[in-house]
């Protein structure tokens, strides 16, 4: 269990990129290769006890033990789905803030749905996370610590990440960039960029920053409507970054990375689920190498939206397919424990 006073007095090294860690160690008079040694202990051997890092000098270990730490998260509650094995974790941070993450089991390729913020400031009208308000950004260490805590509890390795939990990743870009660079590093978890998907509601400068970073993560866009007026009513971010600007950023990202872009489209009964709207989606995505994940709305208590019937969902899918798009209906996981898309709330009970 994390001790709040200890964590507050020490600097967290978890989630820092290799370059940032090397700079930190340079300030201690150490050579850059020490950063790689520490990385290998933490990410490859899964050891975060400085005392056991026996290829570091004793004086360095003494300084590290005195002044630094690798943050952990207290597991406050775990809910396990009886339907599909999905597990939803409620973690308590050192300052008492709560954040939720989800473990999605798949044979041979377990996935973690990570949060990047405590709550969310984007205000999407259908989302439980936004309805709960915004607390703060998560640190790089708190982002990575979610993986460590889930793997320890599950006794299983995580192979894929989706940054689709609480918060807008590109609203916390500096910390997300650090954490992802650490995980992608050959000295770290050595995940390929295709194993990490970053989902955004459409923060255009953040998409541009991701492109310029060279990380080449898979990009998922929360679309939910094919025209500005409707989308702005569902997702306030569209008032600041309308679809024309968003699609420009998406095309630039794809040109730079040569990666297929995923568009997430939640279907709300009577709002965005008509045949005409399906054709409008196809028009909007013309020329973009993409796939569309159709998500029948997962109900959230207190919010007004409803899910369409399955026939409407299939009809929408068929229009997209007839227009040459790859369109799949996402299978809900964790709905019985409020762990499905848009349902994370950070409730204690």
Per-residue pLDDT of the chain (349 residues; tens, 9 = 90+): 334 444 457 999 999 999 999 999 999 999 999 999 999 999 999 999 999 999 999 999 999 999 999 999 999 999 998 888 899 999 999 999 999 999 999 887 899 999 999 999 999 988 877 767 899 999 999 999 999 999 999 999 999 999 999 999 999 999 999 999 999 999 999 898 889 999 999 999 999 999 999 999 999 999 999 999 999 999 999 999 999 999 999 999 999 999 999 999 999 999 999 999 999 999 999 999 999 999 999 887 778 899 999 999 999 999 999 999 999 998 765 455 554 454 445 455 5
User: How confident is the model at residue 342, as a pLDDT?
Assistant: 46
Q: What does the alpha-carbon distance between residue 105 and residue 182 come to, in Å, rounded to a whole number?
A: 24
User: Is 40 annotated in the active site?
Assistant: no
Q: Which of 30, 93, 100, 178 is catalytic?
A: 100
119: left (phi over 0), alpha (psi -120 to 50) or beta: left
Q: What does the alpha-carbon distance between residue 300 and residue 114 come to, in Å, rounded to a whole number?
A: 20
User: Is 100 annotated in the active site?
Assistant: yes
The number of CA neighbours under 13 Å toward the Cβ of 159 is 8
Contact predicate 165/172, CB 8 Å: no
- Indicate if the alpha-carbon torsion angle 197, 198, 202, 206 is positive or negative: negative
User: How confident is the model at residue 333, as a pLDDT?
Assistant: 59
Q: Which domains does the chain have, with CATH numbers?
A: 4-69 (1.10.150.530), 74-337 (3.20.20.70)
């Amino acid at each position: 269990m994390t001790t709040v006073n200890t964590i507050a007095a020490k600097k967290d090294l978890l989630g820092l990129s290799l370059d940032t860690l090397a700079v930190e160690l340079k300030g201690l008079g150490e050579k850059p290769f020490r950063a790689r040694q520490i990385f290998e202990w933490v990410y490859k051997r899964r050891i975060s006890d400085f005392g056991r890092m026996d290829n570091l000098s004793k004086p360095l270990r003494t300084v590290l033990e005195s002044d630094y730490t690798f943050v952990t998260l207290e597991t406050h509650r775990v809910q396990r789905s009886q339907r599909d094995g999905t597990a939803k974790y409620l973690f308590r941070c050192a300052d008492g803030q709560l954040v939720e993450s989800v473990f999605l089991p798949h044979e041979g390729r377990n996935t973690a749905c990570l949060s990047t913020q405590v709550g969310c400031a984007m205000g999407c009208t259908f989302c439980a996370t936004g309805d709960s308000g915004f607390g703060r950004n998560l640190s790089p260490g708190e982002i990575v610590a979610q993986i460590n805590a889930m793997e320890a509890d599950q006794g299983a390795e995580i192979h894929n990440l989706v940054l689709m939990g609480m918060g807008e990743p590109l609203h916390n870009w500096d910390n997300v960039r650090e954490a992802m660079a650490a995980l992608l590093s050959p000295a770290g978890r050595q995940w390929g960029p295709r194993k990490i998907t970053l989902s955004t509601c459409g923060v255009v400068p953040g998409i541009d920053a991701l492109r310029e970073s060279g990380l080449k993560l898979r990009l998922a866009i929360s679309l939910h409507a094919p025209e500005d007026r409707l989308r702005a009513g569902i997702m306030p971010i569209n008032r600041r970054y309308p679809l024309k600007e968003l699609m420009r950023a998406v095309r630039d990202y794809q040109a730079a990375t040569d990666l297929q872009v995923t568009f997430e489209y939640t279907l709300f009964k009577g709002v965005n689920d008509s045949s005409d709207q399906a054709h409008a989606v196809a028009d909007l995505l013309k020329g973009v190498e993409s796939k569309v994940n159709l998500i029948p709305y997962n109900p959230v208590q207190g919010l007004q939206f409803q899910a369409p019937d399955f026939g409407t969902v299939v009809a929408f899918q068929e229009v997209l397919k007839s227009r040459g798009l790859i369109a799949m209906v996402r299978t809900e996981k964790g709905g019985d424990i409020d762990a499905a898309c848009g349902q994370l709330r950070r409730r204690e009970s």
